[in-house]
């Protein structure tokens, strides 16, 4: 169970938040890898959490943790089950009037509920596991193919909270590191340009490769992964070695958007990522 809310580390009021989740690569497969020049350039230009750990193996529990503050006792990649009407960061944002959208690369259509395809899989789309999102059209219409993002940027309608799930090749799950790096080099620059004066962009991974069960923070056992933090308030070359996990990302987003900390994001065992930012 979550303990009392930890002391709040200073986090600026985020003008926009972007979360991009990549797949199944360990820290050492990214940091310093010549096949990932763009990501390593981002690390040099912005910041890196050097002791960041996935929540669980396999994929699904990590995605649920990032939006729900819990793994909801999932230990597999169930493609047809659901969590039910549990509260998520979506509920928090809508209550606070914060706009949001999830962009899913290779998703066949908005609010797609069909079977997995060659490139799109439901287990990488955590929003569709919550029935109060997936079965509510006004919410589900915010889960869209990634093709829509360019138009939203051009039209000035990019929401305050942006979630991006690349497809199975772009996220490095089925393709080499260089494919994921190339994907990021194509989408991240325009997102950085549209973060606003105090925005934050998080690039993380769901879990490490193989059977690495290293962890931290009172329960994370998903292995050592790279997590890049970018934005106007992140000083170039910031390296923070405080042990962190996916709940740290959720907590920091909630703090930056003025939202309550949800479930394990509010645990005393969950460190904030606020030290990456120079906000008040």
CA 268 from centre of chain: 21
What pLDDT is recorded for position 9? 66
d(CA 191, CA 122): 24
User: Look-up: residue for tokens 């690039």?
Assistant: 203
**The pTM is what?**
0.95
List of E strands, 27-184: 47-53, 100-104, 143-145, 161-165
Strands (E), the chain: 17-22, 47-53, 100-104, 143-145, 161-165, 200-205, 224-230, 238-240, 244-245
Pairing relation of β-strands 100-104 and 224-230?
unpaired
Coil, helix or strand at residue 224: strand
Output the pLDDT for position 93: 98
CATH 3.40.50.2300 for domain 17-266? no
Half-sphere exposure of 37 (CA within 13 A, CB side): 2
What pLDDT, on a 0 to 100 scale, did the predictor assign at position 24? 94
Going residue by residue through the chain, which has 280 residues, state the pLDDT in tens, using 9 for 90 and above: 344 444 556 899 999 999 999 999 999 999 999 999 999 999 999 999 999 999 999 999 999 999 999 999 998 999 899 998 999 999 999 999 999 999 999 999 999 999 999 999 999 999 999 999 999 999 999 999 999 999 999 999 999 999 999 999 999 999 999 999 999 999 999 999 999 999 999 999 999 988 899 999 988 999 999 999 999 999 999 999 999 999 999 999 999 999 999 999 999 999 999 999 964 3
């Amino acid at each position: 169970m979550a303990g009392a809310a930890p002391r709040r580390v200073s986090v600026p009021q985020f003008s926009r938040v972007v979360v991009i989740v990549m797949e199944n690569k360990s820290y050492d497969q990214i940091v310093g890898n010549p096949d990932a020049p763009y990501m390593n350039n981002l690390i040099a230009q912005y910041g890196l959490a050097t002791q960041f750990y996935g929540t669980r193996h396999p994929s699904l529990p990590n995605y649920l943790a990032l939006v729900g503050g819990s793994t909801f006792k999932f230990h597999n990649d169930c493609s047809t089950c659901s969590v039910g009407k549990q509260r998520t960061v979506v509920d928090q944002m809508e209550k606070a009037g914060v706009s949001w959208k999830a962009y899913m690369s290779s998703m066949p259509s908005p609010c797609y509920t069909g079977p997995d395809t060659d490139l799109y899989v439901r287990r990488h789309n955590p929003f569709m596991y919550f029935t109060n999102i997936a079965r509510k059209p006004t919410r589900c219409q915010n889960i869209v193919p990634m093709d829509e993002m360019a138009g939203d940027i051009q039209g000035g309608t990019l929401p305050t909270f942006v979630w991006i799930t690349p497809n199975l090749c772009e996220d490095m799950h089925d393709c080499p590191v260089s494919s994921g790096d190339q994907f990021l080099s194509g989408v991240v620059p325009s997102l950085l340009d549209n973060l606003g004066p105090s925005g934050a962009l998080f690039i993380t991974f769901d879990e490490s490769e193989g059977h690495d069960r290293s962890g931290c923070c009172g329960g994370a056992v998903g292995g050592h992964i790279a997590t890049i933090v970018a934005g106007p308030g992140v000083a170039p070359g910031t390296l923070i070695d405080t042990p962190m996990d996916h709940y740290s990302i959720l907590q920091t987003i909630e703090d930056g958007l003025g939202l309550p900390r949800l479930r394990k994001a509010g645990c005393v065992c969950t460190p904030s990522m606020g030290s990456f930012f120079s906000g008040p």
